[in-house]
Structure 1
Amino acid sequence: MLRRPVESAQYTSFTLAEHLDRAGIAASIGTVGDALDNALMESTIGLYKTELIKPRRPWRTLPEVELATAEWADWYNHRRLHGEIGHIPPVEYEANYYLTAQKPQVTVTT
């Protein structure tokens, strides 16, 4: 049986693309060398490392890191003030958005 060589980057592999296509899922994958798709994630990971991981090392156990990560994510989303969104936490920004977003109007025709 012939097999395709395994791609070195799992997120851009032909096998993954075919699997997603069969499942009816549209992949969100940028072009090679294009970091625009993951810029937000890279920024968040950088903050996570700077604000939590590096200052509190050395970490002793995986459960210790897992608990600290959950606490950091809660703080990041519910209490950390984000300058780009008006010095409020993301949860508050999202709530404000949905309060002011226009809702589609239902009309009845007879």
Structure 2
Amino acid sequence: MLQRPVELANYMSAEFGKTLDRFGLRRSSGRTGICFDNAMAESFFGALKNERVSRVTYLTREAARQDITRYIEFWYNRKRLDSAVGYRPPRGVHADYEKLRIVA
């Protein structure tokens, strides 16, 4: 079994936290066992499973990859309304963000 240094294996360690504080950075996740860190990812994968994957039988991994990619790129990002961003498609929200970023 591959052994990792303790500081790499546990990114929530006190030493890691001190390093982030020193550089004025914040952690991208909370304490161990806090479920809210994964809420958006869980929501996405739940939608993917319920809206697409569980409704299709894939004969090959490649067929699954292509179909899931199409779902994400042409349906989820462009047309599907997302309650987390005001019932707008994620791609539209991202485009608005980019416009504001350029203006700023």
TM-score normalised to the size of structure 2? 0.64
Residue number in structure 2 paired with 1:61: 60
Describe the shift of the 1:82–1:27 C-alpha distance in structure 2 as closer, same or farther (beyond 3 A).
closer
Partner of 2:32: 32
Runs of 5+ unmatched residues, structure 1: 7-12, 105-110
Matched length: 91
2:8 aligned residue (12, 15, 18): 15
Q: Which residue of 1 aligns with 2:94?
A: 94
1:14/1:88 CA distance change after superposition, 3 Å:
same
Task: Identify the residue that residue 77 of structure 1 maps to in structure 2.
Answer: 77
Q: How far apart, in 2, do the equivalents of 1:26 and 1:84 lie?
A: 23
Instruction: Verify: 1:46 aligned to 2:39, yes or no.
Output: no
1-structure distance, mates of 2:87, 2:34: 30
Q: Computing the radius of gyration over CA atoms, which structure comes out larger, 1 or 2?
A: 1
Letter in 2 for 1:15: L
Give the drift of 1:37.
1.0
**How far did residue 67 of structure 1 move?**
0.2
Indicate the structure with greater helix content: 2
